Amino acid sequence: MNFSRALELYKAEPTLEKAKLLAAELAGEMTSKEKVRMLRGHAMGITVKNTLKNGRFYNGEAYPAGGCKRLGIPPVLFTDGPRGIVMGKCTCFPVSMLRGAAFDDELEYEVGEVFAKEASAHGANLFAGICINLLRNPMWGRAQETYGEDPYLLGKMGEALTRAMQDNGIIACPKHYALNSIEDLRFSADAIADERTLHEVYLPHFKKCVDAGAMSIMGAYNKVNGTYCCESKELLVDILRDMWGFEGFSLSDFFYGIYDGPRSLMAGMDVEMPYTFRYATLHSALKKGKITEEQLDLSVCRVLTALITTLPKHKDYPKSVILSSEHTALSRKVAGKGTVLLKNSGNILPIPQGKKIAVVGRYADKVNVGDHGSSNVFSPYTVTAFKGIQKRFGEANVSVYNGCDTKKATAAVKDSEYIVVCVGSDWLQEGEFLVNLGNIKKKPKGSGGDRANLRIPSEDVALIRAMASLGKKLVVNIMGGSAYVINEWHGVADAIICSFYSGLEGGNALADVISGDVNPGGKLPFTVAKREEDYPPFLHIGCKDKRIEYGYYHGYTLFDKKNIEPEYPFGFGLSYTDFELSDSSVSQDENGISVSVKVKNVGSVDGDEVVQVYVSGNNDKADRPVKLLKGFKRVSVGAGETVTADITLDIDDIKFFNPDKELWELDNSYDVFVGNSSRNVTQVGTLEI
């Protein structure tokens, strides 16, 4: 038996049980040393070569793990990339947070197909860019890599990306499992959560990806309830495998995810990435009886099962597909759909053709596509805000000043009627934190990681105020990974756009939106607070106690429960047109809960609306959120037209976890709400279960 023969037999009988039997037979052909090698990354030589040749320390080529030449077993070939493939030069898409703002899982599947093609063209067979950690506090530096604050939204978007990968023969790898949402202290933070909080808030999105067919999952650096994630039997076996039925393999977060090889293996951690470090002791541990051959076989078979079930769908794409016009066009489309219009006083947007526009600010003509860590995508070009607006409105009509000096900005805008100020953050202020691998007492300025605060820099605020005093029409374009506290200046802006980090075509997408070529339909995937203190507590470098309570409430559920008024609620976003929702109905059958609502465009231009369905469980004996998002659908509606949005809710999604019985249970009844944000909903019915 070799791997080629195993694939032939699997193709003749493509079932999971057959794959597991073939994996066991293959493992039986292997020596102990070959089994240990199957569980280790082998990227050292590749990293050294790419660093010396191309200056690319991280993932310049696919990172191999495992494999057995004697039996023809291919290695797992890892690539990263929440916003595109990080190897070589690839298409840089908008960050996941912007794609979450699009509220369109069908569109996310299309994005996933592009990722799969470009990953294949670079030789990878595993994609670890499905980041579905929950945004608990916007200070988290890597918030841009995920989809938002709501577990259901995270699950639907992660599920779509997972299916796209697995359907195209690429092993899908959701990350970071679990409760990973602090960056600077990611190696030492200990997230404390009770069972209900764990299962209802921080894990359901991972289960959706498992149910969607993910055949790998990446552990996190941090601890959960006192145990490192990559050594947690509760997470890796009790929940992931025994409760959810996961049949793939787990792999560690890179370099420092594992502290004790045998302990991690016995806890259910299968593969150490990207180099052989702690798992170098496994063969010795086997000889000394610290681990058993059966434990090795268990992990080896999981890797083999993933390869056997996934690789038959794999397609070898040529490098010519990378950065194709179809791919860059999709990136531009996604950026436009995820752009959120927060304010539009006097309907100053869209800007008519022929108007004089000045683009100013630190990011006016600067490449700013997000983090420079493991999610960095190297594209051969990026369209800045200025370049995109200049191309759309004409060179003679658009001026630029790239900076924050108010005098220079004032001079640059003197002939303009409209000012677009580009503010927010960049990779120096938020992102992955790699300085000394986080083991420092004081954080250097401009080193990425978690945000120091939730407000844009003071010089940016001064610039906004100076531009507002000139009596011109002022548009503020916020670029960044998640929410900002903006109450100190948002009143002086005529219009506010949230464009996040919008990819290589971001400037063109911004021009599409402000010109009206694209009617913005994005919705906030997080809550914008009036005060930093309205969010849950956060851990920063310097905190002596590395434990932090991850409570049951955060985001809009916290704001609802405490009756806190947000600056802008979760799910909020304006359009250049207006919509009316009517004739809503809700019913239940064996297929789930069906919600139907008519959406009428009562304005004069075509547009998209995101219909959101929230559910409230009625149970006097248990604490319940005021309401929870359990369904959404983005619909396109022509001017004056009416469409019907039909949304099906999975009955399992409205269950609550009973920690006493360790079971998911239904309440006796549920109130169902429909609207276009978490704070603009109408009850459409009550379900008696």
Catalytic site positions: 253
Query: 350: cis peptide before it, omega within 30°?
Result: yes
Strand spans (E) along 450-565: 473-479, 495-498, 547-549
Strand pairing class (63-65; 223-224):
unpaired
Residues 6+ apart with CB under 8 A from 243: none
In the numeric block, the tokens 């690429």 are attached to 170
424 conformational bin, left if phi > 0, alpha if psi -120 to 50, beta if neither: left
Distance CA 274, CA 109 (A): 28
Residues 6+ apart with CB under 8 A from 616: 624, 625, 626, 627, 628, 670, 671, 672, 673
**Per-residue DSSP letters for 304-339?**
HHHHHHHGGG-----GGGTT-HHHHHHHHHHHHHH-
How many CB atoms sit inside 10 A of residue 665's CB? 13
End-to-end C-alpha distance for the chain, whole angstroms? 53
Q: Are 549 and 192 in contact (CB under 8 A)?
A: yes
State both tokens at 333.
């489309």
Helix (H, G, I), strand (E, B) or coil at 442: coil
Helix (H, G, I), strand (E, B) or coil at 618: strand
In the numeric block, the tokens 């493509």 are attached to 14
Strand pairing class (495-498; 473-479):
parallel
Distance CA 182, CA 187 (A): 9
Distance CA 171, CA 191 (A): 28
Q: Are 391 and 508 in contact (CB under 8 A)?
A: yes
Buried b (16+ CB within 10 A) or exposed e, 40-51: bbbbeebbeebe
